[in-house]
């Protein structure tokens, strides 16, 4: 399968868009993971700072209890001291777990634990002196000095550790902010690039669609021109053939009449005159059909409905056809309902029925009966033309009303293929329809249905005339 240049560009554009969206999604996922880690670090740092504050507060509470016991000798203060010192170990252990991944803080924590153990020892000595009754100023002065120094060291160590945690907290917050900003920027750029690529692909697709529509329009135009050329060729071939034969007959008969005026009997002269008249009528019918189709295609076929006597119209039409054609065919008129008048265009109706009856005469054997049946309903006027002719093959019936189309079983029977096209065009102006039922070798029935156009005024005139 070969791809066109536009197809390659479109496929590349979609592929690049998918790749960009995949990269942006992957980066966003990594960024979200980093934000979660950073959030956990912030939480961990916050908990470590809280533990440092708790240790300092516990040491302060223990020192206050120790001093209260030494100064006032109250047992409650000693209890307070013991409780604070007991909880201190758990808090130091918790802090050690929290700072397990920070070597710098681990060093500070070791020093803190050493200072705390030193302070516990000093406090223990001070309390023992108090319990032994040796709490003299000289004895306690040395312990107080050491205790103050130890407290300063503990505070300094806790401050350093807290500063370290604050720095880590600031780093984590800044890192989270940078990641958020980078994520927003990457997503914006990825969306913008994907949109630009998709817009370019859409432009290519639209351009390709326009080209395809233009190509299809050119193909339709070429097809129409080809069809028009074929129609023109068929038209000129048909016209040249259909005019050549009657003109040859007219010319030959006229020459014979001119050269044999004294020698021919009256019967022979009438025969040649009849041939001239028949050929002239054929040419006139051909010209009439061509003119009718031309006007219909141009939208200039006139439509003037008038109130006409249907039965009288059909009888006159049959008489005209019997007079103009050979007397070998008998046309029977049958009226099956009491519908004597209707508002129709007489000229168009004449073209419809005369073409159907002419075809019935043309394609029926001699002496075969042809019927024109008139019937009515409250909504429709129905004409049926029945013959026992050669019939129409089923495959030809769907193209029957196209100009120049003739069934494939007509043989050498002359015809133009315009009559049924004229029938259809004239019926369209009446908003009517025509259908056909035919069997090869049995006969054909054409049914014409025209909506009733007789107005109430027209009906009242009919009733008055009766």
3-state secondary structure of 303: coil
Whether residue 403 is predicted with pLDDT greater than 90 in this model: the reply is no
Of 161-170, 205-214, 266-275, 347-356, where does the model show the most confidence?
347-356
139 falls in which pLDDT band (50, 70, 90)? Answer: low
Average pLDDT rounded to a whole number, residues 398-414: 77
Lowest mean pLDDT among 68-77, 82-91, 282-291, 426-435: 282-291
Q: β-strand 341-344 against 330-335: which pairing, if any?
A: unpaired
pLDDT in tens, 33-57: 777 777 777 777 778 888 888 888 8
- By C-alpha distance, which of 115, 218, 214, 211 is closest to 160? 115
Q: Are 109 and 96 in contact (CB under 8 A)?
A: yes
- The CA–CA distances, whole Å, from 336 to 333, 383, 445 equal 10, 10, 16
Q: β-strand 433-439 against 443-451: which pairing, if any?
A: antiparallel
462 falls in which pLDDT band (50, 70, 90)? Answer: very low
d(CA 149, CA 11): 77
In DSSP terms, which residues pair with 438 in a beta bridge?
A: 444
Percent of the chain's residues with pLDDT above 70: 84
Average pLDDT rounded to a whole number, residues 219-228: 81
Average pLDDT rounded to a whole number, residues 227-240: 64
Burial readout 328-355 (b: 16 or more C-beta within 10 A, e: otherwise)? ebebeeebeeebebbebbeebbebbbbb
d(CA 330, CA 388): 12
Mean pLDDT of the chain: 78
pLDDT top residue among 317 and 457:
317
Sign of the CA dihedral 383, 388, 394, 396? negative
Lowest mean pLDDT among 2-6, 337-341, 355-359: 2-6
d(CA 55, CA 63): 12
pLDDT for res 369 = 84
pLDDT for res 252 = 74
Assigned token pair, 73:
């000798």
- By C-alpha distance, which of 130, 116, 121, 110 is closest to 87? 116
pLDDT top residue among 239 and 427:
427
pLDDT top residue among 349 and 68:
349
Average pLDDT rounded to a whole number, residues 331-344: 85
- The CA–CA distances, whole Å, from 108 to 31, 84, 124, 396 equal 33, 22, 24, 107
| Backbone φ, ψ for residue 344 (5° rounding) | -135, 165
Lowest mean pLDDT among 275-284, 395-404, 415-424: 275-284
Average pLDDT rounded to a whole number, residues 200-206: 75
d(CA 360, CA 380): 23
Whether residue 414 is predicted with pLDDT greater than 60 in this model: the reply is yes
Q: Are 402 and 456 in contact (CB under 8 A)?
A: no
The per-residue DSSP string of 165-190 comes to HHHHHHHHHHHHHHHHHHHHHHHHHH
3-state secondary structure of 81: helix
Which letter does DSSP use for residue 2 in this model?
Answer: P
């Amino acid at each position: 399968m070969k791809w066109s240049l536009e197809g390659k560009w479109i496929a590349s554009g979609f592929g690049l868009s998918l790749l960009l969206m995949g990269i942006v999604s992957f980066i966003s996922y990594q960024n979200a993971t980093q934000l979660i880690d950073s959030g956990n670090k912030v939480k961990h740092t916050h908990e470590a700072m809280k533990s440092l504050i708790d240790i300092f507060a516990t040491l302060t509470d223990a020192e206050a209890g120790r001093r209260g016991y030494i100064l006032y000798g109250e047992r409650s203060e000693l209890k307070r001291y013991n409780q604070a010192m007991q909880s201190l170990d758990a808090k130091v252990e918790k802090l050690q777990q929290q700072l397990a991944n920070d070597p710098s803080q681990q060093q500070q924590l070791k020093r803190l634990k050493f200072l705390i153990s030193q302070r516990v020892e000093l406090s223990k000595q001070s309390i023992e002196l108090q319990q032994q009754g040796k709490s003299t100023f000289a004895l306690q002065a040395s312990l107080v000095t050491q205790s103050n120094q130890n407290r300063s060291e503990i505070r300094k160590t806790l401050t350093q550790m807290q500063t370290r945690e604050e720095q880590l907290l600031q780093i984590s917050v800044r890192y989270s902010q940078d990641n958020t900003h980078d994520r927003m920027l990457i997503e914006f750029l990825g969306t913008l690039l994907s949109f630009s690529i998709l817009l370019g692909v859409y432009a290519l697709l639209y351009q390709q669609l326009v080209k395809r529509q233009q190509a299809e329009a050119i193909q339709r135009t070429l097809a129409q021109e080809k069809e028009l050329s074929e129609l023109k060729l068929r038209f000129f071939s048909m016209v040249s053939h259909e005019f050549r034969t009657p003109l040859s007959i007219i010319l030959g008969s006229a020459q014979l009449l001119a050269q044999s005026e004294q020698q021919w009997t009256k019967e022979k002269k009438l025969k040649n005159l009849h041939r001239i008249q028949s050929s002239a009528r054929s040419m006139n019918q051909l010209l009439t059909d061509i003119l009718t189709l031309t006007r219909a295609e141009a939208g200039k076929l006139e439509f003037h409905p008038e109130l006409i006597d249907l039965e009288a119209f059909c009888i006159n039409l049959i008489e005209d056809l019997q007079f103009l054609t050979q007397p070998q065919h008998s046309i029977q008129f049958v009226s099956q309902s009491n519908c004597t008048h209707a508002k129709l265009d007489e000229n168009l109706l004449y073209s419809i029925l005369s073409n159907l009856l002419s075809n019935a005469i043309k394609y029926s054997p001699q002496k075969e009966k042809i019927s024109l049946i008139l019937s009515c309903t409250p909504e429709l006027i129905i004409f049926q033309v029945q013959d026992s002719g050669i019939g129409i093959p089923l495959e030809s019936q769907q193209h029957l009303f196209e100009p120049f189309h003739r069934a494939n079983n007509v043989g050498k029977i002359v015809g133009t293929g315009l009559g049924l096209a004229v029938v259809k065009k004239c019926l369209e102006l009446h908003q009517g329809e025509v259908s056909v039922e035919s069997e090869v070798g049995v006969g054909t029935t054409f049914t014409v249905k025209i909506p009733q156009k007789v107005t109430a005024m027209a009906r009242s005139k009919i009733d008055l005339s009766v």
